[in-house]
Amino acid sequence: MTQQQAARRPSGRFGNLPNILTYGRILAIPALVACFFVIEDWGRWVAMWIFIAAGVTDILDGYLARAWEQQSAIGRMLDPIADKLLVSAALMMLAADQTIAGWSLWAGVIILCREILVSGLREFLGTLAVGVPVTRVAKWKTFLQMLAIGFLLAGSAGDKIWPYTTKFGLTLLWIAAILTLYTGYDYLLAAVRHVMTDED
């Protein structure tokens, strides 16, 4: 086996680059929280860029794992966990800061509830060896959700440059929440079908 083939061989080890990127996304969460609650505007800008960098690693780790054939059990487990921790932490911070407030809190609640629901349904469907493919709508949902949170993290600091930064972020958050309901339905429907099949 050549050195190049060995590098591309599927790896269950903890230390391949895709997994390191996933670990980095989890470790970015405390830094994101710390920067967000700095009173000065620069804290919000740094928090936004940390979030963007973490989002980029989410794209890279999956791409590299497939391209280098380095898919691993630890990566498959931690990747969705890292995503949900990052989004959940950001939404809770924005709610605590009242960047997301009033009716817009419902958009955040919808997104968080869907993430919890889908995690449970994935575990259930996984025991049945049933896969639910990621649709194009789901990918758009994720993109809009991340974009919305990025604008909202800039928040009041961003409003000083573009007065509609927060309003635009909230609008995107509602669009993401609507798509979240739609994509969550796919998982729920797949689970209900198999429950009904088992009962028959």
- Domain-wise residue ranges, the chain: 11-199
Say which residue the tokens 């469907």 belong to: 125
Q: How many percent of the chain have pLDDT more than 70?
A: 82
pLDDT tens by residue, 95-105:
999 999 999 99
| This prediction's pTM | 0.85
The residue among 15 and 158 whose pLDDT is bigger is 158
Contact 149, 55 (CB under 8 A): no
- 139, 19, 22: which is closest to 81 by C-alpha? 22
Distance of CA 92 to the CA centre of its chain: 14
pLDDT tens by residue, 6-55:
444 444 567 788 889 999 999 999 999 999 988 789 999 999 999 999 99
CA 43, CA 97: separation in Å to the nearest integer? Answer: 13
Count of residues in the chain: 200
Q: What is the CATH number of domain 11-199?
A: 1.20.120.1760
How high is the pLDDT of residue 59? 87
